[in-house]
Amino acid sequence: MTLRARITVMFVATTLGAGLLLIGLVYAYLRFTPVPFQAEFAGEGAVIDAAIPITNEILRTVLTISLVVLALMTAAAGAVGWFLAGLVIRPLRDIAATAQQITAGDTSVRITPPTANDEIAEVAGALNTMLDSLAAALAAQKRFASNASHELKTPIATIQTIADVALSNPAGATEALTRIREVNARNLRTVEGLLLLANAHSGHPLNPQPVDLSKLCKEIAAERGVRAEITEGVVVDGDPELLRQAVDNLVRNAVTHGAPNTATLALSHPATVSVTNADGDARSTTGHGLGLTLVQAIADAHRATFTITQHDDGSVVATLGF
């Protein structure tokens, strides 16, 4: 039995039960309660109060009429219940149709919430939120696969070429193995970056804890040999490894694509990291292998803002705001 039919049956059963109860009460009242009346005798001026029971014929007539009316009311209740049940379950049919479209492969469709602000509207909204999350996860998986195939294709081909050269010239095998080791180390960093990117796309920091940005920026500036303008005591909640990767990738991108010795790493209140380089192209995506895609994903995971500003003098400023 469909939900619409069950709602209709409940509606009809309620109407029928209430009607039978009412008829039973009326019938019992008429049967066991005599009808009072007054009789006045002509010429004597006497008035007599009396009560007589209702005859069985009258009771049968009342009962018959009541049952006929109840039957008509029950039929009307069934029609009204069927109509109202259709209105109630229409949004559920829309939800089912949307689910079938998504199952068929169209993940862009969403449920149209009903105009009434009721429980079904809440369910539709919750399902739309879930579908958005699933779509974001699927998109992240596609980006991960695309990035992985793109970033690993070239180094794998390079290793193949080096191996072929070494096989054709055994005397240079040591040099070839050294180059293979270097390429493999870059591959390892690329894979680590891809994994960080996939984790960052989960939408929340993997291991949120207080992170001393001042200390982190000082360490990265020293490692990369860039100028630093660091404000002390800047602490944010986030994943330490992801934040380090984001700042390090910005600095590496500035050093790689900016004019020599022009990169500057700055940290100021409220929790703003900025990397400036002169006459460069900070928009390149080849610095770390994943470029600024990883930085944007980490910023999104920490609900931070990431902007790139190109000034008239050719300098580029990349900013992370927490």
Asked if pLDDT for residue 45 goes beyond 60, the answer is no
Asked if pLDDT for residue 262 goes beyond 50, the answer is yes
Please state, in angstroms and rounded to a whole number, the distance separating the CA atoms of residues 95 and 290.
39
> What does the pLDDT read at residue 215?
92
Q: What is the pLDDT of residues 158-201, one digit of tens each?
A: 888 888 888 887 777 788 888 888 778 777 766 776 676 666 66
Q: What is the pLDDT of residues 74-130, one digit of tens each?
A: 999 999 999 998 888 888 888 888 888 888 877 788 888 777 777 888 888 888 888
**DSSP at 110:** -
| Three-class DSSP category at 280 | coil
The whole-model pTM stands at 0.50
- 272, 235 contact by CB (below 8 A): no
Please state, in angstroms and rounded to a whole number, the distance separating the CA atoms of residues 109 and 285.
32
